[in-house]
Structure 1
Amino acid sequence: MSRPPRGLSPEEAELWARLAATVKPLHPRRAAKPAAAATEPAAPPPPPRPRVKGRVPPPLPPAPPPPAPGRPLDQHGLDSSWERKLARAAVAPDFTLDLHGHTLDTAHARLDQGLTQAVAMGARLVLLVTGKPRPSDDYASRGERRGAIRAKLLDWLAAGPHASRIAAVRGAHPRHGGAGAVYIVLRRSRD
């Protein structure tokens, strides 16, 4: 239960008035509140409504689940020649990173290290092998089952240190791992 404000004592009100007189207003056109209003205590809040016997307010509906985090990386566009090359596996990956057998923590660290290495090498196309995803509409528990690395991948990439270097993320061609892998297309470095 909160207490009502106590107001200012006469000494405090005098100090406040002296201080307020030295302040230059940011917006002088606005009307200043009188100093006397600061010394008057605020009106106490209205008392709570008494409960009527037999009437209980209905419970609040449960809050809707938070929306799935935005995933801008799978919406980035590539020019049509890149899309065709990736669809036909006509371009070979410059760098391959395999996250099989890792826990979520070690996979996340390895992903960041691998992308740092790929950027340093000047790679444009990274093949990231994650394993096949498990179908799930439950975003809250997607990191607790098989396919957890694949489920977290886009979140890690979007929030990671290399997000600005990633042009697109696309599913891999069956020749390069199919549903168990993705291509990460890196932007060309501007030297």
Structure 2
Amino acid sequence: MARRRTLRPDEEELWRAVARTARPLHSHPMFVKSVEAAAQFTPDPPKAPAKPRLPHFRLGEKAQTAARHDLAPALQTGLNDAPLQMDARTHGKMTRGKLLPEARIDLHGLTLAEAHPELIRFVLNAQSAGLRLVLVITGKGKRGVDTGPIPQRMGALKHQVPQWLRLPPLGPAVLQVTEAHLKHGGSGAYYVYLRRR
């Protein structure tokens, strides 16, 4: 669609002279009024250009603030932000490594397909045996070959196990999940505090 431009004063005067001599094709009052309105039309004054939303930027200049695009927060942040479901005193002892896990499972080296049923079996058996604190060792993971444009997270089990522990059938059995103390595996293991049956 063509943009309408404003008329210069000499063009506007010419337009009015032509509009005065024009005769309507039809004698209908609507057409007569439109021709008269066109003859009396005066365009609006030009508007000032809009102010740019972004500050001026020259090629080669460094950005003022570096935008960080973190689509998924760190795993530790998600676990720490989870509401505390258990006794605060017991939780403090657990995170400081003062409570000893009553059972442990090592998922190190297993694939996701192998680890998921093992984790379900272990947690449900531990809860039925009356255990409260168990240790799930996932390992920290190793960096694989990153060939794509989207960065891959390190440690598939490390990121998947907390999700499995929130979903059924394990969700109703688990009260709290936190990262283990350094003497029990640190960021490569999780404390899983179970509900009583």
Q: TM-score, normalised by structure 1?
A: 0.53
Residue correspondences, number: 120
**1:45-80 Cα distance to aligned partner (Å, 9 max, x none):** xxxxxxx69xxxxxxxxxxxx988xx7894333222
Look up the match of 2:180.
Answer: 172
TM-score normalised by the chain length of structure 2:
0.52
The CA deviation at 1:179 is 1.1
Quick one: distance in 2 between partners of 1:79 and 1:161? 23
> Which one of the candidate residues 100, 114, 122 is aligned to 1:106?
114
Quick check: 2:164–2:170 contact (8 Å CA) kept in 1? no
Equivalent AA in structure 2 for residue 123 of structure 1: L
Matched-pair contact (CA < 8 Å) for 1:129–1:180: yes
> Which one scores higher on RCO, CA 8 angstroms, separation ≥ 6?
1
Partner of 1:125: 133
Unaligned runs of 5+ in 2: 3-70, 144-149
Does residue 149 of the first structure (1) align with residue 149 of the second (2)?
no
What value does the CA root-mean-square deviation take over the aligned residues?
3.1
Match in the other structure for 1:48: none
Contact 1:132 1:150 in 2 (8 A): yes
- In structure 1, which of residues 57, 62, 76 is the aligned counterpart of residue 84 of structure 2? 76
Distance (Å, rounded) in 1 between the aligned partners of 2:72 and 2:107? 28
Greater radius of gyration (CA)? 2
On the 8 A contact 2:95/2:178 being kept in 1, the answer is no
String of CA shifts for 1:112-143, please: whole Å, max 9, x gaps: 111121112111001000011679xxxxx78x
**How far did 1:111 drift?**
0.8
Q: Residue 86 of structure 2 contacts residue 176 of structure 2 at CA under 8 Å; is this kept in 1?
A: yes
8 Å Cα contact 2:103/2:135 also seen in 1: yes
How far off its partner does 1:147 sit?
0.4
* Structure 1 residues 105 and 84, CA gap change in structure 2 (3 angstroms): same
CA change 1:87–1:146 in 2 (3 A) is closer
How far apart, CA to CA, are the structure 2 residues paired with 1:145 and 1:168? 24
Percent identity (aligned): 34
Return 5+ residue gaps in structure 1 as ranges: 1-51, 54-65, 136-140
Task: Tell me what 1:158 maps to.
Answer: 166
1:95 paired residue number: 103
Hey, what's the Cα distance between the residues in 2 that align with 1:128 and 1:104? 14
